[in-house]
Amino acid sequence: MVWARRRYGGLVTCEVSWRSLQRLPAAVLLLAGACTNDYDGLVGASASAAAGGASSTGGGGDGAAGPAGSGGATTGGGGGSVECAEGKTACGTTCVTTSDDPAHCGACGHDCAGGDCVAGVCSVVLIATGRGDPDAIAVDATHAYWTDPVAGTVSRAPLGGGAATVLLDGLAFAKGIALGATRVYVTDSNAGEVIALDKDGGNDETIASGQANPRQVAVDDTHVYWTNNMLGGSVVRLPLGGGQIDTLATDQASPAAIAIDATSVYWTNEYEADVMKQVLGSGLPPDLVSSGEGTPVRMTKDASFAYWTTNELGTVYQAPLSGGNPMVVAEDQGLVIGVVVDAKHVYWAASEDNRIMRAPIAGGAPEEFAGGQSYPTGMAIDAACVYWVNAIDGTVMKRAK
């Protein structure tokens, strides 16, 4: 691989049937007793440890698969033993049918988060029916929050489903959204404002005005960051407690998407198809992470890579955060918009094809994650589920990973 960089300014498992064990000599039984089916699966953008998902092949869950029942006794994950009937699987000390059990869908511990389990695959769940044209979405432990540019609103609904509550209305063009510990941060692009409000609504205030088409927004423990989306635009931040706006980068080619970590801020430049990086506090000009083709409107990142979609080209890219040539995750996806990533997969909204897709971050063929959608756009992710909004019918959806 040619790197391009320029500066702009054991797991051991055993599955043995009880009838087979009865025919084995004692020495072999002692060896078999040394095997376990204990496992740890790493799931989710927060990289929290969770046991009991299933490796996805054709839409199943993420994580390590539980032991398959074969009609004999199967050692459960709790250290006991249980004998299951033919077609059942021992999950702990309980026998289940993983093809239709929503708490053990496809594998032990893979919960469908309110969805049905059909043939070992969790179904898509409706969180809320909104109105207008929802665009960006963010989630916390209890609620989904989203913007609607057409209606000029910010709304939320419980992750378990329920009526949508409008937290704020009357905005000119509600666009980006990000969540702090207690506050929601929103860009009103046409008004040139960044607004903060409480998560349950109220106490809304304009924390920045006179901005040049503020687009996407991100927040950490100390600052709120956003892009000013125009030719010659900027990337800026503001202390959460108020104060002076700190300009991180200027003269950018329509900065759009934004992501942050403990040391740097990253963004896409729409008109040069660039992904950029500014090391916080360095005093140096921004660095180029990667440059490709198309219009990179949405992006995300993990600890090692940036991922972005190129809208009209139908391509999903990744590149090392340290800099390098873009690598194709998927192409020929139609018009693509939203993108999120976890420890195993990158997911994206194939908007024209009305479906959510995913592919392994280590490389592999794309697969459909959720079909039959209604022009999905913005996306979010947590340890258990992938979330998205459908622009045409105004719905907010999720599916367990």
Q: What is the mean pLDDT of each run of 10 residues along the chain (401 residues)?
A: 35 35 37 32 30 36 41 44 91 95 97 97 94 92 98 97 96 98 98 98 97 98 98 97 96 98 97 96 95 93 97 93 96 96 98 97 96 98 98 97 96
* C-alpha–C-alpha distance, residues 338 and 188, integer Å: 19
Who contacts 186 (Cβ-Cβ below 8 Å, separation ≥6)? Answer: 147, 154, 168, 171, 174, 175, 176, 177, 194, 195, 196, 197, 217
Secondary structure in 3-state letters for 7-36: ECCCCCCCCCCHHHHHCCCHHHHHHHHCCC
* C-alpha–C-alpha distance, residues 111 and 122, integer Å: 8
* C-alpha–C-alpha distance, residues 209 and 274, integer Å: 27
Who contacts 158 (Cβ-Cβ below 8 Å, separation ≥6)? Answer: 127, 142, 143, 144
Residue type, 353: D
Strands (E), 222-354: 223-228, 231-239, 246-253, 255-260, 264-269, 274-279, 287-291, 298-301, 305-309, 316-320, 327-330, 336-341, 345-350
Residue with tokens 């389990």: 117
Strand partners, 82: 74
User: Domains, the chain, ranges and CATH?
Assistant: 39-122 (no CATH), 125-400 (2.120.10.30)
∠ CA 340-383-379 to the nearest 5 degrees? Answer: 30
pTM summary value: 0.81
